[in-house]
Amino acid sequence: MKRFRLTVALPKGRIFQEAYEALKRAGLPLPPVENARALLHGEEGGVALLELRNKDVPVYVDLGIAEIGVVGKDVLLDSGRDLYEPVDLGFGACRLSLIRRPGDTGPIRRIATKYPNFTARLLKERGWAADVVELSGNIELAAVTGLADAVVDVVQTGATLRAAGLVEVEVLAHSTARLVVNRQALKLKRDLLKPLIARLRELAQP
Amino acid sequence: MIPEGTRFLLPPEARLKAELQKRLQDLFLRHGYEPVELPALEAFDPAHPLAERAFKLVDKTGEVLALRSEFTTLLAKLLRPHLGKGVHRFQYAGALWLREADAELGRLREYTQVGLELIGATGPLADAEVLELAFSALEALGLGGVVEVGLPSLVGEVLRASGLSESAQKEVQRAIHRKNLPELKALLAQNPVPEEVRQTLLALPDLYGEREVLKEAQTLPLPPKAREALSRLERTLDLLERPVLLDLGMARRYEYYSGIFFRAYTPGFGLPLLGGGRYDGALLPQAAGFALGVERVLEALKPPPQESPPEVLALDLKALRRFARERRVELFHGEDPVAHAKARGIPFLAEGERIWEVP
């Protein structure tokens, strides 16, 4: 196993590029992403970059494999991991919404989602007696096909929803990309991380 | 098949674990901490801090029992009626169980703790004693550790004096705990507080580092009780004379921890190895202590040292009986003892009263 000065976990997909640039602008010497098929970038003794599924970012950071990471608040709301969350990076804005078929107003008995913990909390808070079905992709299909009476899913522009003929009934939470930091790494590597956090906060100021 | 989050140990790990535990118990004993033994079964109490996560069983009377999930609460409950005035020092060791959802590296559902309680003493010297023992424990284990000290009571006093509603206090505490400055700002915009309080609350998450953060904290407009807590901490650190990391934004369970809260980390291992603090009034009028996670320590010490071979290979029972009194001996079963001794690196052979070096 190689030793790195700092290991950064970033989610593949829409957040990756913006997160990479934000960290670079803040002065973190990130390795170049040369080999698109590699999952771990970086040289021994330098900064390493891990490309992960977004749900895995909090896991890697909580267990200390990566010291810092960037991930959407939507994922953090579901993860239940005890992480530091010092900076709202502002990009990757989306919302978690309750989505149904138009005209559906009956009680919700089954709800499909990629966010089972967040959804279970919501049901508990509202006193709804419904089953949560965890799916991994194309969640809106669950509402279209009648697999569920409603879905809780991430919405960016709403175009996908409209195309599927569904309606956004309620916005449950707003999300943007956050910097997350492992609890002990923040202290042990504070010489590196405290200034990084300060610069990211300055840059993230609207 | 064994249940998730439980573990069995083979040599040499099992021996290493027993040795580590013994080293800690001896250390605590040398500092006046007497062992106590506590039952693994207790009556289920919904007010227990870990009630929701404890394993439950049904007793023959139909009453609900819980498997021990924490030593401190149990020790306080059992000893309260038997404690006289004065200072008491206790140590404990044993297994604990939590019906936790995720079992991961170092986060088991059945795990072992060794820990201690200092009862009937409070103040900077008592805090320094407990912290000193935590440092000594890390040294005894041969682990380079960093001890981080927080002051949940400081956050608690600031919140109590803030005029925020109880539910807003909880949300603010959560944001401070996560060092989530953007959320903290948003919460304080929704729930306005006096400017001085706002300034203090926004400063708390970033008050981590070395001794200089104490100075920084003292420049804040703190309520009197928070100021007192801070000067007690300063006095504790003066007495301790050890380098600690401070995090004054540590806001964990501030209604339980009446003074300091601390834990120890070791570089390269992602979870705290020990944790403790002061909880005057929570369970007993004056009490502080800490516990080490033995499995975590084992994990952090990896790789385990090579299992060393015995010193003597005994060729008969008589030799085993004769030499096992003073050395590690193994009885030989097989055809060629010399080849076996050479392969294992065993230096001596013995038969009856006779002992000789492996040729």
> Which residues of chain B make contact with A190, given a CB cutoff of 8 A?
208-209
User: Which among A64, A85, A194 has CB closest to B178?
Assistant: A85
State the pLDDT at residue B95.
Answer: 95
Clarify whether residues B82 and B186 are in a common domain: no
pLDDT tens over chain A, length 206 residues? 668 899 999 999 889 999 999 999 999 999 988 777 778 888 888 999 999 999 999 999 998 889 999 999 999 999 988 899 999 999 999 999 999 999 988 899 999 999 999 999 999 999 999 999 999 988 999 999 999 999 999 999 989 899 999 999 999 999 999 999 998 899 889 999 999 999 999 998 76
At B305 the pLDDT is 61
CB B204 within 8 A of CB B248: yes
Interface of B with A in 151-180 (CB under 8 A): 178-180
Contact between chains at B146 and A182 (C-beta distance less than 8 A):
no
Measured at the CA of B10, the angle between CA B7 and CA B15, to 5 degrees, comes to 105
The answer to whether A181 faces chain B, any CB pair under 8 Å, is yes
CA distance A103 to B17: 63
Q: Are B70 and B49 in contact (CB under 8 A)?
A: yes
CA distance B5 to B41: 19
pLDDT at site A143: 92
| pLDDT for residue A114 | 95
Contact A86 B208 (CB under 8 A): no
Q: Are residues B137 and B277 in the same domain?
A: yes
**B316 and B303 fall within a common domain:** no
Judge if B60 and B112 occupy the same domain: yes
Question: Which pLDDT value is given to residue B1?
Answer: 76
* Per-residue CA distances from A160 to A99, A157, A177, B315, B341 (Å): 12, 8, 21, 80, 73
- What is residue B101's predicted lDDT score, i.e. its pLDDT? 53
Same-domain pairing of B299 and B336: no
Distances from the Cα of A81 to the Cα of A64, A76, B107, angstroms: 12, 7, 13
| B22 shares its domain with B116 | yes
Note the pLDDT of residue A3.
Answer: 80
Confidence (pLDDT) at B251: 81
Considering the domain architecture, whether residues B259 and B279 belong to the same structural domain is answered as no
Across the interface, whether the CB atoms of B148 and A187 are under 8 A apart is answered: yes
- Token pair recorded at residue B323: 């030499």
Closest-CA residue in chain B for A85? B180
Residue B104 touches partner A, C-beta closer than 8 Å: yes
User: Do B265 and A88 lie within an 8 Å CB cutoff?
Assistant: no
Indicate whether B44 and B118 sit together in one domain.
yes
CB-closest option in A62, A84, A187 to B178: A84
Would you call A184 and B182 a contact, using CB atoms and an 8 Å cutoff? Answer: no
Whether B267 sits inside 8 A of A181 (CB atoms) is no
pLDDT digits (tens, 9 = 90+) for B71-119: 999 999 998 888 888 999 999 999 999 987 555 555 788 999 999 999 9
- CB spacing of B182 vs A87 below 8 angstroms: yes
| Chain B CB contacts of A184 below 8 Å | 148, 265, 270-272
Closest among B118, B131, B159, B123 to B232, alpha carbons compared: B123
The domain in which residue B349 lies consists of 312-357
From chain A, the residues in CB contact with B148 under 8 A are 184, 187
Give me the pLDDT at residue B102, please. Answer: 55
Nearest to B270 among A84, A181, A184 (CB): A184
B13 & B72 share domain: yes
Residues 85-144 of A with CB under 8 A from B: 85-88
Number of other residues whose CB lies within 10 A of the CB of residue A106: 9
Query: In this structure, what CATH number is given to the domain that contains residue B207?
Result: 3.30.930.10
CA distance B298 to B13: 8
Asked if A87's CB is within 8 angstroms of B181's CB, the reply is yes
ipTM > 0.85, yes or no: no
Q: Verify that B29 and B157 share a domain, yes or no.
A: no
Q: How many domains does chain B have?
A: 3
B222 and B165 part of one domain: yes
DSSP states of A59-121: HHHHTTSSSEEEEEHHHHHHH----EEEEE---S-EEEEEEE-TT--SPP-EEEES-HHHHHH
> CB of B252 within 8 Å of any CB in chain A?
no
Whether residue B154 sits in one domain with residue B138? no
Question: pTM, whole model, 2 decimals?
Answer: 0.85
Flag residues of chain B having pLDDT under 70: 101-106, 303-306
With CA atoms as reference, the chain A residue closest to B148 would be A187
At CA B104, angle to CA A191 and CA B44, rounded to 5? Answer: 110
C-beta of residue B251 within 8 angstroms of C-beta of residue B154: no
**Which of B181, B205, B245 is the closest to A187 by Cβ?**
B245
